[in-house]
């Protein structure tokens, strides 16, 4: 082993969505697992309680129409593997809808495959209480100002949640 003391973190591409998945990763030396964006706070808490691994949870950024780590549309449509960190975000593009060969007018709902972005600021206290060790903020393809401002807001929310829990 080249770096035996280097902590291993399991990415969202592992599709960890349960205590069993977290334990599977932990048994293979993973110290922290990123749970799927599609999990509820309750499911995250159950996963955290069922493993000794640290839990990292997405709190801010794009939601995916697929299960975390299981998207193949980017690869199929753009030749870029989302499962290797190169998501082309094909699901966030506008699409038309054909019904019996006729293009339907969609107006402002032409983003059929694009769910709302995740903004989990209001869930920070519940995530802290659930034992989440790390919050994940999407920063890829974002400017440093955006990342800094977003991180500062979540840092303040975590600090406030920690103060409230310890009071």
Cα–Cα distance measured from residue 66 to residue 69, given in angstroms and rounded to the nearest whole number: 8
Q: Is residue 1 assigned to a domain?
A: no
Q: Is residue 2 assigned to a domain?
A: no
101-112: pLDDT as tens digits: 998 888 777 777
Q: Is residue 128 assigned to a domain?
A: yes
Residue 50: which CATH number?
3.20.20
pLDDT band at 78 (very low <50, low <70, confident <90, very high): confident
Q: Average pLDDT of the chain?
A: 90
SS percent in the chain: helix, strand, coil, step 5: 40, 20, 40
Of 107, 70, 109, 71, nearest in space to 89 by CA: 71
Q: Is residue 3 assigned to a domain?
A: no
Site of tokens 């999407």 = 138
pLDDT value of residue 108: 74
Site of tokens 């800094």 = 148
Q: Is residue 50 assigned to a domain?
A: yes
Q: Is residue 31 assigned to a domain?
A: yes
What's the number of domains the chain is made of?
1
pLDDT band at 12 (very low <50, low <70, confident <90, very high): confident
19-77: pLDDT as tens digits: 999 999 999 999 999 999 999 999 999 999 999 999 999 999 988 787 777 777 778 87
Q: Is residue 17 assigned to a domain?
A: yes
pLDDT value of residue 76: 80
Q: Sort strands 54-61 and 118-119 into parallel, antiparallel or unpaired.
A: antiparallel
Site of tokens 């920690």 = 162
Q: Can you read off the two tokens belonging to residue 31? A: 């110290």
Domain coverage including residue 26: 8-166
């Amino acid at each position: 082993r080249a770096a035996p003391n280097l902590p291993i973190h399991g990415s969202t591409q592992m599709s960890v969505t349960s205590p069993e998945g977290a334990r599977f990763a932990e048994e293979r030396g993973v110290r922290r697992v990123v749970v799927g964006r599609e999990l509820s706070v309750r499911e995250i808490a159950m996963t955290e309680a069922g493993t000794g691994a640290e839990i990292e949870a997405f709190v801010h950024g794009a939601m995916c129409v697929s299960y975390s780590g299981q998207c193949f549309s980017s690869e199929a449509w753009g030749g870029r593997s989302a499962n290797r960190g190169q998501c082309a975000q094909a699901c966030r593009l506008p699409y038309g809808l054909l019904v019996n060969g006729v293009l339907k007018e969609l107006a402002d709902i032409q983003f059929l495959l694009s769910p709302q972005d995740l903004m989990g600021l209001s869930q920070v206290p519940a995530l802290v209480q659930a034992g989440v060790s790390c919050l994940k903020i999407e920063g890829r393809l974002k400017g440093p100002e955006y990342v800094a401002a977003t991180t500062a807001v979540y840092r303040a929310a975590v600090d406030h949640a920690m103060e409230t829990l310890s009071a």
